[in-house]
Amino acid sequence: MIDSALLLAISAMATCLFAALLSPCIGRFPALQRLSVSLLLAASGALAMAAGLFGLNDSEAVMTLPIGLPWLPMHLHLDALSAFFMLTIGILLLPVGIYSVGYLKEIVAKNGSIQQMGLFLPLFALGMQGVVLADDAYTFMVFWEIMSLASYFLVTFEHENEATRKAGFLYLLMAHLAGLLILGAFSVLYAAAGDFSFVAMRNAELSPGMATAAFLLAAFGFGMKAGVVPLHVWLPDAHSAAPSNVSALMSGIMLKVAIFGFMRLIWDLVGMHEFAWWWGALVLAAGSSSAITGILMALQQHDLKRLLAYSSVENVGIILIGIGMAMTFAASGHPLIAVLGMIAALYHTINHALFKGMLFMGAGAVMHATGSRDMESMGGLIHRMPATAVFVLIACISISGLPPFNGFVSEWLTFQTALLTPHLENTLLAALIPFSASMLALAGALAAACFVKLFGIVFQGQARSTAAAQAHEVDGWMKAGMAIPALFCLLLGVLPTLFIPLIESVPQMLIHASLAGSVQPENWLWLTPVSADRASYAAPMMLFGMLILAALIYWRLHGRGKRILRSAVWSCGHAPLNPRMQYTSTSYSQPLKRIFSGAYLPEVHEGTRYGVHPLVVHSVVYAVHIGDLFYRRLYLPVGRITQAIADRLAHEHERGMHAYLAYIFSTILLLLLWVVQ
């Protein structure tokens, strides 16, 4: 049976496919190509959003596609979980499509064509939608690989740049390693079910060993794609190398598709009755370490897009803290609290898609205006780009978890879940969850510091370069692309009570429990996740109170106050302040570098060059570099060891003909022995 929601979802995919097929045909007209591809993407996003909204309310629907191998047709399926992630995809794809109309204009002007982008951007969106809708392992992997490969070609869009090629290679490598692990997880389930379809896998009986194997393979595979520490090293490079509309999609949705894959495999296919108690603990630990590492690394970046990429690592960590708590509570027989944790995680998933997408679009606008990603050369853009500044500020407040925007709601829900820990009997878990909550509090406060830095250095103060001083506001398409998520950030922040009942069908499907049983929803004003005397939050009333109070003060003071005088900044009687006297991005984060120097291990290069005499200093050099600790301490050694083993083995290739004959002979002998047995 096909219902309207699945039909909408399939038409969203068809729109992407059409865009991908159309794009090469009209490559000779870049303006037309740019407009049609972008708007088709936006249309696909709108369709996906509609599919998600209907799907969250509707019953499930299944469809078999007439393509694929003869004995292995492709199955598509829209249930609450896929509907929620369709909604997440759509809610960002729509604004990014609109934004791309303006953004690609500059790329066309620079590169002359957008052939590569025109083909792979729709394919990328198609892959993500297909993964979410897949109903068998085969379809899932095919779309997963479409998503990975298309995004590889998008990351290497500016392939003239060597750093981009390196970032692309690392990304491809990690994406395939992740794909291999996920394939392994599906193989385990296939071995139990004997069939590729998710229906069979769901009903299969798993031994505890197999379930654990599937969990570990899925956790590492999807964790690698989601950028969980320490598997995140590809993420900052790939996100900063990609064009900004692509980074918005990669960070905003592709990481969420990995979260989706994990939830599909572990919550849906393996099922919560198979959970071992330590699974949730592992996810919690991974989430907490990602949250802290991500934001600490983000604070030390001065490349705008690397900062945002590391902040994505942090937010994936926050989502995983919610999922980990849900797994822990589900495994210990507290389904209602698990529902709350899952809602917190899902809420943060859609929130992060919105504000991180908006921030990457803002970064693209800033790069468009100043031609640089280096925050040290920006400043004062709030005067030159007032609209972009407002949108980025909204995103910064949201991502810092401050009311009245959406980031606060999901952090609040996560804290509320953590505070229900006394219901746990296992002491280790009961101590681990408050620890995660404190790490979440620390990460939230550090995020506020990080985004004050981003906004303060990029948009405020005086321009640090001529490009920044002559920056210009972006066009209407790009502004509209940023305005839509800004609006959703406010709506999701003020009206969580309308949104939570909608996404509640996901935990209903996975945990078979509902908050509705424990809460009497009083009305749309009050958010009372467990019960009204336990905790409540009324965002509309708070916003209302704020507005009333602010208006009152403004009216009292402004109406009768003296006029405001403008003058130059007081510089203690010296020459006027110049831009080089300002705090820079590096000096802003210097205290944190010092406090957490144990975690950063900065490499300092100091040197003094002397002139003719040791007392005459010619020049002093001071350079600090903070690299990714995991890359230096984990990846490079592993790489070196692999290289060393390969070097040893390479000698075996340099033997003569007789050695090769001996190899062949011994191989055949071994194979024969094996066959005989």
Partner 1 sequence: MSLSMTLWVLNLAQAALMVLAAPLLAGIIQKCKARLQNRRGAPILQPYRNLLKLFGKEALLAENASWIFRTTPYVLFTTTALAASVVPVFLVDLPSALIADVIAMAALLALARFWLALAGMDIGTAFGGMGASREMTFSAMAEPAMLMSMFVMSLGAHSTNLSTMVQHALHLDHLLPSVAFALAALLMVAIAENGRIPIDNPSTHLELTMIHEAMILEYSGRHLALIEWASQIKLLLFATLIISLFVPWGIAESPAIQPVLAALVFWFGKVVLLAVALAVLETGLAKIRLFQVPEYLSTAFVLAFLGMLVHYILEVGA
What's at 481, amino acid-wise?
Answer: G
Please state the closest distance from residue 21 (CB atom) to partner 1, in A.
47
What's at 624, amino acid-wise?
Answer: V
The upper half-sphere exposure of residue 109, i.e. CA atoms within 13 Å in the direction of its Cβ, equals: 7
Q: Map tokens 């994505």 to a residue.
A: 312
What is the distance between the alpha carbons of residues 363 and 275, in angstroms, rounded to a whole number?
Answer: 41
Please state the closest distance from residue 569 (CB atom) to partner 1, in A.
5
Identify which of residues 33 and 585 has a Cβ nearer to partner 1 in the complex.
585
Assess contact for 304 and 247: CB atoms under 8 A. Answer: no
User: Backbone phi, then psi, for 308, in 5-degree steps?
Assistant: -65, -35
Which has the closest alpha carbon to 458: 401, 360, 390, 382? 382
What is the distance between the alpha carbons of residues 295 and 288, in angstroms, rounded to a whole number?
Answer: 11
What is the distance between the alpha carbons of residues 326 and 313, in angstroms, rounded to a whole number?
Answer: 20
Angle at Cα 261 formed by Cα 257 and Cα 266, nearest 5°?
Answer: 150
Identify which of residues 377 and 460 has a Cβ nearer to partner 1 in the complex.
460
Identify which of residues 239 and 464 has a Cβ nearer to partner 1 in the complex.
464
Please state the closest distance from residue 355 (CB atom) to partner 1, in A.
15
Identify which of residues 572 and 673 has a Cβ nearer to partner 1 in the complex.
572
* DSSP bridge partners of 246: none
Assess contact for 537 and 527: CB atoms under 8 A. Answer: yes
Q: How distant is the alpha carbon of residue 167 from its chain centre?
A: 17
Please state the closest distance from residue 528 (CB atom) to partner 1, in A.
9
Query: Helix 115-133 vs helix 137-155: angle between axes, to the nearest 10 degrees?
Result: 150
Identify which of residues 442 and 480 has a Cβ nearer to partner 1 in the complex.
442
Angle at Cα 564 formed by Cα 561 and Cα 567, nearest 5°?
Answer: 155
Identify which of residues 249 and 284 has a Cβ nearer to partner 1 in the complex.
284
Please state the closest distance from residue 247 (CB atom) to partner 1, in A.
25
Contacts (Cβ under 8 Å, ≥6 apart) of 579: 379, 461, 462, 463, 464
Please state the closest distance from residue 427 (CB atom) to partner 1, in A.
7
The pair of three-digit structure tokens given for residue 198, joined into one six-digit string: 């998710």
User: Cα–Cα distances in Å, from 677 out to 373, 666, 671?
Assistant: 63, 17, 10
Please state the closest distance from residue 320 (CB atom) to partner 1, in A.
19
Which has the closest alpha carbon to 134: 280, 274, 260? 260
Please state the closest distance from residue 520 (CB atom) to partner 1, in A.
14
Please state the closest distance from residue 566 (CB atom) to partner 1, in A.
5
Please state the closest distance from residue 552 (CB atom) to partner 1, in A.
9
Identify which of residues 541 and 601 has a Cβ nearer to partner 1 in the complex.
541
- The neighbour count for residue 106, using CB atoms within 10 Å, is 17
Residue 77: its H or E element:
strand 72-78
Which has the closest alpha carbon to 450: 551, 665, 636, 300? 300
Burial class (CB in 10 A: 0-12, 13-18, 19+), 518: middle
Identify which of residues 68 and 579 has a Cβ nearer to partner 1 in the complex.
579
DSSP-based three-state secondary structure for 677: coil
Identify which of residues 140 and 412 has a Cβ nearer to partner 1 in the complex.
412
What is the distance between the alpha carbons of residues 621 and 660, in angstroms, rounded to a whole number?
Answer: 56
Q: Map tokens 């299969």 to a residue.
A: 204
DSSP-based three-state secondary structure for 78: strand
Please state the closest distance from residue 558 (CB atom) to partner 1, in A.
9
Please state the closest distance from residue 495 (CB atom) to partner 1, in A.
15
What is the distance between the alpha carbons of residues 416 and 329, in angstroms, rounded to a whole number?
Answer: 13
Q: Map tokens 């996560």 to a residue.
A: 414
Identify which of residues 255 and 592 has a Cβ nearer to partner 1 in the complex.
592
Please state the closest distance from residue 547 (CB atom) to partner 1, in A.
9
Please state the closest distance from residue 430 (CB atom) to partner 1, in A.
5
Please state the closest distance from residue 511 (CB atom) to partner 1, in A.
23
Identify which of residues 547 and 661 has a Cβ nearer to partner 1 in the complex.
547
- The neighbour count for residue 59, using CB atoms within 10 Å, is 11
* DSSP bridge partners of 114: none
Hey, what's the torsion of the CAs at 87, 88, 94, 95, to 10 degrees? 140
What is the distance between the alpha carbons of residues 446 and 458, in angstroms, rounded to a whole number?
Answer: 18
Please state the closest distance from residue 248 (CB atom) to partner 1, in A.
24
